[in-house]
Structure formats: structure tokens, C-alpha cells
């Protein structure tokens, strides 16, 4: 099969489109013919900084058709359309994934949107609802709101009855965020995010911050009201995740870390993604796709995902 691989970490140009052996379907796995690949933030971080064995197939998320099932698999059948998550291997024509890390794609849902939904909306739901505990009438500040997780968080927080302050840049992105449910959009290039968050809350601060950036954690804490909650779920900004915890302690604030890779198979989390796929198929949430590339152009796709600041996810097709 063809796959996008790298031998040593580095810029997008380290990705090569080559022939590699077909994956073997294990007893608890399904073999998927990949039809759409979602480029996730973790894919970019791994490619930039994580050493692996030669010809490493990067990639967390994809969707396609089941070609075969392992002998212990009873929940999936040949011909099923599934979305899938795993810690590597999606940037390929074929992908062997644990059946417990797949979700049936509802009829009518675009396969690219299905590929992008589990990580973005699964992370958004767990951050806003499960860990963030958002309540009607609260104000939520969402960093990187134009990214996949941010766009999901905006929609889910607004549907929960919260006032949403979305952080993004560019007029087109800001207008789209308003359409998707943001009450206010703060252009981080034009305004101080903390000052704007406090101004918009009559100096009280927000009750919940969703931070997938990492380098903005200190600002997130400064924007937070006493007894507020900060959920951090990534390090898209790079660097160390350093914060001064003296003020959060004095203000009785709560910090929640979210890493979805270890909990997608948890029944409650897995079921939530099923519900979100159904919601997307019914048009109740919108999985935003910015641009699609061919898998053979994976280096260009990664470069675009890193440099162009896309609105939503970048996908690839084999």
C-alpha cells in the first residue's frame, strides 16, 4: 500500500509518499480501506519532534470501509463505514485499528466530516461538558477557537446555554465563529485577550476556559473568575507548560487536564462520540473542513495545516 511516512522528525518536507507493507489485521482489529484522513494537531507535533522507527506512518484519525475483521471482533462487519482513532497509522491507504476504537458512520454523514469528528468533537465535549461542567448562563473563553477542537467547543458551549468568548484572528474566521455560536470574538492579534475577557464580564472573569494552546495557560488563569475552571488539552503553541499556581490556589480555581488518547475506549466516552456522529448527520453540529489534499501531497497538507491557520480541519484522501 501507499503511505505518508517519515524516517526522522522535522518540517513537513520529511514526509515521503512510498510503498510500505500492508497492515495485518489482528484478532481484535478491523482493517479499513481509508477514504478520508483528518490531520490532527498531534500528528503535526509528532512529525516535528518525535523520533520513531524508519518509515513511520503518522496519523491519529481516518474514516473508511471495513475490509476484514479479526476473529474476536463481533461488533463490526465487512462493508461497515467507520470512523477510527489510533495513535499512529492513519496516513495510509489501509489501516488496522482496534474495533473498540471505531465508530459506525451514520447514513448521510460525509466521510471527511466523519474522519474529523471523533477527536475534535470528542475532545470538545469532554472539555466543555464532562470536565468543564459548563452551566447555562456561564461565560466560557475558548482559545484557538478556529481550530477543530475550538469550533466544536464553541458549538457545544453555546448549545449548553453559555456565553461564548472565542479567540481567533481574521475577519472571515470571526464571522464564521459568530455563525456557529460565539457571542463575542476577540482578535488575539489586535487585542489583549485577558483584558477583553475581563471587560466583557464586567471585570469578573469567565467561569470556564478551554485552552488547547498551552503557551496561553498563564493568560487563561488571569482571565478566570474566582472558583472558575480551566481545562487544558494540548500544547499547540509548543514549549513548556509552565504556570504560576499561587494565584489559582488563592482563588480556589480548578485545573483539569484532558488527554483523549487514553479514554476513547471508555464506554461513556465512546458512546458520546456515537451521539455526536448522529448529531452531525442530522445537522445539529457542523464539522468544518477547511481544505482537502491528496495523500500523495501529505507534505503540502501538513505545511498548510501548520502555516495557513486553517478554519477547521485539513483532510487528505488516498
Tens of pLDDT along 97-134?
Answer: 999 999 999 999 999 999 999 999 999 999 999 999 99
Percent helix, percent strand, percent coil in the chain, to nearest 5: 35, 30, 40
Whether residue 236 is predicted with pLDDT greater than 80 in this model: the reply is: no
CA angle 111, 117, 123 (to 5 degrees): 165
The band of 176, judged by pLDDT with boundaries at 50, 70 and 90, is very high
The band of 241, judged by pLDDT with boundaries at 50, 70 and 90, is confident
**135-163 pLDDT tens trace:** 999 999 999 999 999 999 999 999 999 99
Whether residue 240 is predicted with pLDDT greater than 80 in this model: the reply is: no
Q: What is the pLDDT of residue 131?
A: 97
Q: What is the pLDDT of residue 237?
A: 66
d(CA 5, CA 14): 8
Pick the closest to residue 185 from 41, 311, 314, 313 (CA basis): 311
Q: What is the pLDDT of residue 112?
A: 98
Average predicted confidence (pLDDT) for the chain:
96
Whether residue 267 is predicted with pLDDT greater than 80 in this model: the reply is: yes
Phi, psi of 293, deg, nearest 5 = -125, 160
The SS3 of residue 196 is helix
Host H or E run for residue 254: strand 254-257
The band of 93, judged by pLDDT with boundaries at 50, 70 and 90, is very high
When pLDDT is averaged across residues 205-227 and rounded to a whole number, the result is: 95
Whether residue 251 is predicted with pLDDT greater than 70 in this model: the reply is: yes
d(CA 194, CA 74): 51
When pLDDT is averaged across residues 229-236 and rounded to a whole number, the result is: 89
Q: What is the pLDDT of residue 169?
A: 87
Q: What is the pLDDT of residue 269?
A: 96
Whether residue 197 is predicted with pLDDT greater than 90 in this model: the reply is: yes
Q: What is the pLDDT of residue 214?
A: 87
When pLDDT is averaged across residues 21-40 and rounded to a whole number, the result is: 98
Amino acid at each position: 500500500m501507499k503511505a505518508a511516512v517519515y524516517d526522522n522528525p522535522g518540517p513537513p518536507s520529511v514526509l515521503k509518499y512510498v510503498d510500505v507493507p500492508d497492515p495485518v489485521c489482528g484478532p481484535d482489529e478491523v482493517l479499513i480501506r481509508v477514504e478520508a484522513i483528518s490531520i490532527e494537531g498531534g500528528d503535526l507535533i509528532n512529525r516535528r519532534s518525535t523520533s520513531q522507527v524508519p518509515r513511520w506512518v503518522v496519523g491519529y484519525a481516518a474514516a473508511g470501509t471495513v475490509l476484514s475483521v479479526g476473529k474476536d471482533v463481533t461488533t463490526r462487519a465487512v462493508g461497515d463505514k467507520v470512523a477510527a482513532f489510533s495513535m499512529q497509522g492513519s496516513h495510509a491507504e489501509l489501516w488496522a485499528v482496534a474495533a473498540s476504537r471505531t465508530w459506525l458512520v451514520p447514513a448521510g454523514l460525509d466521510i471527511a466530516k466523519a474522519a474529523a469528528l471523533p477527536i475534535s468533537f470528542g475532545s470538545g465535549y469532554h472539555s466543555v461538558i464532562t470536565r468543564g461542567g459548563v452551566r447555562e448562563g456561564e461565560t466560557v473563553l475558548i482559545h484557538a477557537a478556529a481550530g477543530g477542537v475550538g469550533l466544536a467547543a464553541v458549538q457545544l458551549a453555546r448549545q449548553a446555554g453559555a456565553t461564548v468568548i472565542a479567540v481567533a484572528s481574521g475577519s472571515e474566521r470571526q464571522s464564521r465563529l459568530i455563525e456557529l455560536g460565539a457571542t463575542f470574538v476577540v482578535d488575539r492579534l489586535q487585542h489583549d485577550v485577558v483584558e477583553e475577557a475581563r471587560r466583557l464580564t464586567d471585570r469578573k472573569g469567565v467561569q470556564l476556559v478551554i485552552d488547547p494552546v498551552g503557551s496561553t495557560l498563564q493568560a487563561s488563569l488571569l482571565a478566570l473568575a474566582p472558583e472558575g475552571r480551566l481545562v487544558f488539552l494540548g500544547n499547540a503553541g509548543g514549549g513548556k507548560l509552565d504556570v504560576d499556581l499561587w494565584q489559582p490556589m488563592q482563588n480556589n480555581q480548578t485545573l483539569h487536564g484532558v488527554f483523549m488518547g487514553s479514554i476513547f475506549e471508555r464506554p461513556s466516552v465512546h458512546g458520546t462520540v456515537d451521539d455526536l456522529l448522529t448529531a452531525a448527520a442530522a445537522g445539529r453540529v457542523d464539522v468544518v473542513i477547511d481544505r482537502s489534499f491528496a495523500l500523495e501531497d501529505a507534505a503540502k497538507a501538513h505545511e498548510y495545516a501548520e502555516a495557513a491557520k486553517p478554519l477547521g480541519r485539513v483532510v487528505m484522501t488516498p
